Amino acid sequence: MNWIKKTLRFSEKIKRIIKERASKDEIANSNWTSCCKGPILKKDLEDNLWVCPSCNKHHRISPRQRFDVIFGKNNYEVLKTPIPQDDPLNWNDFKSYKDRLKAARKKTGMNCGMMVVNTSILNVKITAVATDFDFIGGSVGAAEGEAVLYAVQHAIENQQPLVLFSCGGGMRMMESLISLSQMTRTTLAINELKKNNLPYIVVLTDPTAGGISASYAMLGDLHIAEPGALIAFAGARVIQGTVREELPVGFQRSEYVQNTGFVDLIVGRKDLREKLGTLLSILLKKNSAINSSENETSEHSRTLTKAAS
Ligand SMILES: [Zn+2]
């Protein structure tokens, strides 16, 4: 029975190794993270705009980190968005939704998963929104829906473009139908933006999935994606199980989605500021041309009406 003793000793060893591994919180609070070549100092990654210098992986970043990178530190004003009642359905699974919200707020320092700012990019004044994946997986509940609506309203009131950095796994199941209704609300809000001839650019970041990609994230005048971002509606495993076929390499990544026509451009983080600025300037000129041609048309029709009477 020597082999039984050996197996038991081996399993004890494995248990000890697992126990000694750093916890998720310990890893999150350390100075290190990991990428293709193993551990990498967070400082080194930050100096490279949170992009791995070896494999070009665009690591997930918080809204503040993103705004610092794209708009510059202290070059944006954070707007306070409405926060509806917490946990309207009194949701409980193996943890209560109230506790999840409390933990997410503590972890991110944000009241909801989205941050709306008033800022400028290459002298173009804009409203911008970004999502924090660390806030319950970037999912969208009533508060996040309100944030999108607030951003649209702000853009319309100030007659400036809206740039939205999408991220998240979809609508938030703890808010059930309330979260699903945010798909309609945000879609209607984006329509208002378009009625006002204001540019709306979406930057798809990793991951953009579910109801997010089925609503406001796919309604932009232009869709820019960060390299290698997961952009999907349903998950790859679900699709593979349904179609019962091997999925192509790179399925649902930015480069694949660009080939299938859902993404216009793939732009690396270091080039995004300039690219956004240029595109917005072009779109704004185009918009002023549309407005002036509309004015000319209405002027023309007014003259015709006068002549007819
Ligand atoms: Zn890497």
Taking the centre of ligand 1 as the mean of its atom positions, its distance from the CA of residue 257, in whole angstroms, is: 22
What are the φ and ψ backbone dihedral angles of 153, each rounded to 5 degrees?
-60, -40
Taking the centre of ligand 1 as the mean of its atom positions, its distance from the CA of residue 50, in whole angstroms, is: 10
Q: What is the pLDDT of residues 14-46, one digit of tens each?
A: 777 666 677 777 777 899 999 999 999 999 999
User: 227: which 2 tokens?
Assistant: 């390299």
Q: Which position has the token pair 């349903």?
A: 234
Taking the centre of ligand 1 as the mean of its atom positions, its distance from the CA of residue 133, in whole angstroms, is: 20
Whether residue 130 contacts residue 168, with contact meaning beta carbons closer than 8 Å, is answered with: no
Taking the centre of ligand 1 as the mean of its atom positions, its distance from the CA of residue 108, in whole angstroms, is: 24
Residues 6+ apart with CB under 8 A from 200: 161, 162, 164, 190, 193, 194, 219, 220, 221
List helix spans (H) across 21-170. Answer: 24-29, 42-47, 63-71, 97-108, 142-157
Q: What was the pLDDT predicted at 162? A: 98
Taking the centre of ligand 1 as the mean of its atom positions, its distance from the CA of residue 51, in whole angstroms, is: 8
Q: Are strands 200-208 and 222-225 parallel, antiparallel or unpaired?
A: parallel
User: 56: which 2 tokens?
Assistant: 């070009």
Taking the centre of ligand 1 as the mean of its atom positions, its distance from the CA of residue 269, in whole angstroms, is: 15
Which pTM does this prediction carry?
Answer: 0.86
Tell which phi-psi region holds residue 49, choosing left (phi > 0), alpha (psi between -120 and 50) or beta: left
Q: What was the pLDDT predicted at 60? A: 97
Taking the centre of ligand 1 as the mean of its atom positions, its distance from the CA of residue 56, in whole angstroms, is: 6
Instruction: Read off the amino acid at residue 187.
Output: T
Q: What was the pLDDT predicted at 6? A: 77
Q: What was the pLDDT predicted at 287? A: 54
Taking the centre of ligand 1 as the mean of its atom positions, its distance from the CA of residue 38, in whole angstroms, is: 8
Q: What was the pLDDT predicted at 291? A: 57
Rg (CA), the chain: 23
Contacts of 270-274 with CB under 8 Å at 24 or more apart are 270/49, 270/51, 272/69, 272/70, 272/203, 272/224, 272/226, 273/69, 273/70, 273/71, 273/121, 273/122, 274/122
User: 296: which 2 tokens?
Assistant: 């000319």
Query: What is the spatial distance between Cα 41 and Cα 196, in angstroms, rounded to a whole number?
Result: 46
Taking the centre of ligand 1 as the mean of its atom positions, its distance from the CA of residue 36, in whole angstroms, is: 4
Largest CA distance in the chain: 109
What are the φ and ψ backbone dihedral angles of 206, each rounded to 5 degrees?
-80, 130
Q: What was the pLDDT predicted at 29? A: 82
Kindly give the parts of the chain with pLDDT less than 50: 301, 304-305, 307-309
